Structure 1
Amino acid sequence: MKHSIHEWNNLTAVVEFILLGFSDLPKLQGFLFGIFLIMYLSILIGNGLLIVITKIDPGLQTPMYFFIGNFSFLEICYTSVTLPRMLTDLWTQKRTISFLACAVQTCFLYILGAAECLLLAVMAYDRYVAICKPLYYPLIMNHKVCVQLVVASWIIGVPVLVQETYQIFCLNFCGSNKLNHIFCEAPPLLELACGDTYKREVSVHFIALAFIITPFLLILISYVKIIATVLKLPSTSGRSKAFSTCSSHLMVVGLFYGSGSIVYLQPKSSHSTGSVKVFALFYTIVTPMFNPLIYSLRNKDVICALRKFLPK
């Protein structure tokens, strides 16, 4: 709800927000707490195992598994920005979050989300080099280059996203402090801001385009070239092996990009509160939970490493 300048004088500036979350389901609070706790533990254990085995197993000391291990660490960090807070809110029923804590949560959510998008593009590039330029693969994807690509994925969006978060929280929040969402992020925050937020909404969509669509196009180009190369392979087993190493990555890309794009790239008029919450759960919780399953169940090397690592 937008307020005129005259109305602002009668309103108090917001110093904290109330995250409504799933407060419209009062009878399911305990059930939701249990479900989200199990999901968080699954994310920590599953991604933690992937990190450990990609570090200690000699058979997994390749660029592909180096990126998978880093992606798993990123998934743990990304989920930990929102899920512990959600669990606390469900347990205590308080749901309040300070203005500063909300800003910090938003900032880290965006920095880590952008890092995920960029790292997924890096992983697609790694597969492209491995399949399309196999003779040059050890030279192009040496350890130094791999480290540089991971570091770049982590830090390239930091200045832009810190600035964008600052601009969002410089808006006037002088009306309701009830944030109808499960955590702090731009779309529901902009709905609470007073005055004209059009420029800020355009800015959010533009940055989402930059950090969602640009890496996605790079992934798409990589896989178009990969598919063209794989189809030329004379061996059927060679084609199936190449497709199997890429299919896991494509599944993670589809889950993460699909849900994130629906929230950030759709016009605001087509949003419904319930659907935004559901898709937000997908890119912050469901994808990180399925990541280790996708990479382990569809990968013989990871399964063998897990069998050696875990007691019978």
Structure 2
Amino acid sequence: MRDTTADVRLAEILHGGPLEDITYFASETYLYSRKHGLTDRWLAMYDALPDVTPSSIDLESMVRIGTRDDVSEEQYQNILAAARTQIPWRKGPWSLFGVEIDSEWRSDMKWDRLLPHISPLAGRRVMDVGSGNAYHCYRAYGEGARFVLGVDPHPAYFFQYRLIQHYLRELPVFVVPVTLDQFPSKSAWFDTVFSMGVLYHRRSPFDHLFQLFESLRPGGELILETLVVDGEEGYALTPPDRYCRMHNVWFLPSVATTESWLRRCGFENIRTVDVNVTCQAEQRTTEWMPFQSLIDGLHPDNPALSIEGLPAPKRAITIANVPA
């Protein structure tokens, strides 16, 4: 297997540290061990991508890599075809040499809600758990982070990241297609950790919160975004079957319960900075994600309810710190 420039750089950055062993998960050897049927096809696609240097990169107000004028018509069509091969795009939006990828989620809206409330990311080591295709990883780097690691087990999202990374390969932004369960315990290495849209998929939310706690250095900051429901401290809804057509949703806590869970796991300085009802402007079907989306998970006669009759999606952003 060939190592990419990014694989080598990740190994150099992590060498001698508590996360040194995870470098293997970014290798093509590991990708092939996953036995994903499209691995050969997608790796060949990267080999065929045109080598173009973007005239400009914007990771602060959006994620824009180059412009249409940077590429020929043939190169543009090559990049467009590669991106379309990767449908569905869940997180974004992305602008790649004039290829405008209108993803299902307007992830920039979530980023804009949380950014004013978190500690400045300049100079920090950042991890995004459940990173998908690394959209928020690149936004974190755009805010000055010195190293960003995304963690997401889904190969399709990893390959989307590899498409983007082809043109941003010099940046210290990496994704490993694994779960946090595969990380060394108690690494205590990151300054900031994001966990957004993950907690409600975990059968044991406390195990997830403890893993997040142990990955942060003393004084480090957690940004937790999760589905919530109205209720007092101690209340959490467990869907009897599916929730908004999703089968892997286990716990929807109240905001007060979320904060109490964080306290129980040892976090301090806990504050919920945003509660937002998910709207169709933020999550919807597009040509880049042409399958079921938010509207299909809502009750057709009452959008305040899920199609199963449960409260419609509401998301909270809670920030907490590991004691210094």
TM-score tier by shorter-chain length is: under 0.3
Instruction: Report which of the two has the higher share of helix.
Output: 1
| Higher RCO, Cα 8 Å, sep 6+ | 1
Give the TM-score normalised by the residue count of structure 1: 0.25
Greater radius of gyration (CA): 1
Instruction: Report which of the two has the higher share of strand.
Output: 2
Give the TM-score normalised by the residue count of structure 2: 0.24
